[in-house]
Amino acid sequence: MTVTTARWLRRPLPRPAARVSLVCFPHAGGAAAFYTPWARLLPPGVELVAVQYPGRQDRLGEPPAETMDELAGAVAAVLRADRPDRDLVLFGHSMGAAVAWETALRLEASGPGPRHVFVSGRPGPGRQRSEDVHLRDDDGLAAELRHLGGTHADLLDEPEIRAVLLPSVRADYRLIETYRPDTGARLRCPLGAFTGDRDGKATEADLAAWRTATSGAFTGRVLPGGHFYLVPQARQVVTAVLAACDVAPPVAHPVLP
């Protein structure tokens, strides 16, 4: 693995012999570690590869990406160099859904594309809403995070942690809120979309709008929960992803007393 690849990709449970990489893209302000619990839900032939955006955690000293083209272009280049012999399956949540779709478009434009793309918790490109969360003060930004439920409220109450966390959150919100997708762009591979039944940021109608983002097969699924439904529903999401890719999930062993 090159130094550049190592900066961008995290493998919480390395599987060098795997034939499929499930590449996961975090939400705004999120980090690769968000997907760590998924690693043990995958069969031996699938390796979890989580993208670490610049400007957070162990990449805190790097400036965050300013545009979608910068971010998706960099990830696409890294994935081309990472494991060229593997099938790629992309999954992105919230902002990560847009990054995954844009990355997949770039991969298809320059060579073999992903086997499947999954988007979660974000409206399709034709239903993007105009928002200005990145322009709010720190209290307003923290209030948005509390409302969505993706960040522990106690962390946002600590001034030192807020000072570290909020700059990357604000940068991500600026990127996604100034992003203007090409509504005529289409993937060729299958596209699956997920949302929570109480997610006001991505309704069922928003979910259906992803149908026009691919010329391949489309599936949509609504699961119980709000914007971060995929935390308590992790096993259901992973099982659905594997099934759509025709990969059997690992056998669940009973817990012995």
For the chain, list the domains and their CATH numbers.
3-130+185-244 (3.40.50.1820)
pLDDT at 160: 82
Sequence-separated (6 or more) residues with CB below 8 Å from residue 256: none
C-alpha pair distances (Å), 245 with each of 89, 95, 191 = 8, 23, 11
Other C-beta atoms lying within 10 Å of the C-beta of residue 111: 10
pTM, to two decimals: 0.92
pLDDT at 254: 43
pLDDT at 145: 83
Mean pLDDT of successive 10-residue stretches along the chain, which has 257 residues: 80 96 95 96 96 94 95 97 94 98 97 95 87 82 80 71 86 94 96 96 94 97 96 96 85 47
In whole angstroms, give the CA distance from residue 114 to residue 107: 7
Residue 110 is among the residues annotated as catalytic for this protein: no
In whole angstroms, give the CA distance from residue 255 to residue 102: 41
Q: Which of 94, 110, 120, 215 is catalytic?
A: 94
Burial category of 203 from C-beta neighbours within 10 Å (exposed 0-12, middle 13-18, buried 19 and up):
middle
pLDDT at 225: 96
Enclosing H/E stretch for 145: helix 138-148
In whole angstroms, give the CA distance from residue 27 to residue 97: 8
pLDDT at 257: 38
In whole angstroms, give the CA distance from residue 251 to residue 257: 19
